[in-house]
Amino acid sequence: MITANRSDIGRIRLANEDRSWVGTTRSGLTLAIVADGMGGHQAGDVASQLAVEAFRDAMEDIKVDLTADEAKMLIRQAILQANEVVFDMASRNEQYHNMGTTIVTALFLQGSSTVIGHIGDSRAYRVSGGQITQLTEDHTLVNELLRSGQISASEAVNHPRRNVLTRALGTDQQVDVDVQVIKWNDEDTLLLCSDGLSGMVGDDQMLETLLAPDLSLEEKAERLIQLALQAGGDDNITVVLLQAGMEREGVKDSL
């Protein structure tokens, strides 16, 4: 698997509360994570880092020959374990009260399956057959209003409460996790990102960049970061790209 991992503080924020990691488990399966923290007094930094570390620890010793159902269960359990770690830290420390984070993860199984798990509005996209598809459903107030028909898609883009999450990791003792299995082709590209990218760069621009034949995977990740900065860079921006390949490319760990 070839990978690229990039993150930028953006043009507005004073700290980067995004955390990401891509690498392999001890059994050799490729695993990727993006978390976008929230909370005052740098609590967002703490939440996202705790979530990534707890998730990685929970997934480190998984076996290589997992079935899709086993992998779904393990992804869900690992995210719930991360939720417990973040919630416990927030409960025991007043300065971290109400901190939380989004999380989106991908685990590549042997064969042609990939398991995607997420909470919040960090997203997973797949580029396949010249098209880009959003794989995850945002856990946001605006998305709930859009799905119920109370606002239009154009209204959703500039809605004043578009960043309000309806579900996050670490803010509650119990949380629901969305987990799905997708079929994977060797020609596909997977994009995991924080909303600093998806909130600033449209699907058409993402697709054009990810299909650019003259760019390496690292260069595509960097171009996506630059597009978000050119659009205003209102938030931290994190991009993880994964493609089939023999050698690993890019920065593995942004912790």
Domain ranges of the chain: 2-243
According to the model, what pLDDT value does residue 111 have?
85
Q: Which pTM does this prediction carry?
A: 0.92
According to the model, what pLDDT value does residue 161 have?
65
According to the model, what pLDDT value does residue 250 have?
40
According to the model, what pLDDT value does residue 159 have?
61
According to the model, what pLDDT value does residue 247 have?
43
According to the model, what pLDDT value does residue 249 have?
40
SS3 for 96?
helix
According to the model, what pLDDT value does residue 154 have?
63
Q: Which amino acid is at 239?
A: V
Strand partners, 20: 34
Alpha helices in the chain (DSSP H): 43-59, 68-92, 141-147, 153-157, 195-198, 203-210, 217-230
Residue-wise pLDDT tens digits, 25-38: 999 999 999 999 99
Residue-wise pLDDT tens digits, 190-235: 999 999 999 999 999 999 999 999 999 999 999 999 999 999 999 9
Collect the ranges in the chain with pLDDT lower than 50: 246-255
According to the model, what pLDDT value does residue 66 have?
94
- Four-residue CA torsion sign, 219, 223, 229, 234: negative
According to the model, what pLDDT value does residue 244 have?
87
Q: How many helices (H) and strands (E) does the chain have?
A: 7, 11
The position carrying tokens 């939440």 is 47
Cβ contacts of 88 within 8 Å, gap of 6 or more: none
Q: Which amino acid is at 29?
A: L
Query: What CATH architecture applies to the domain 2-243?
Result: 4-Layer Sandwich (3.60)
According to the model, what pLDDT value does residue 160 have?
59
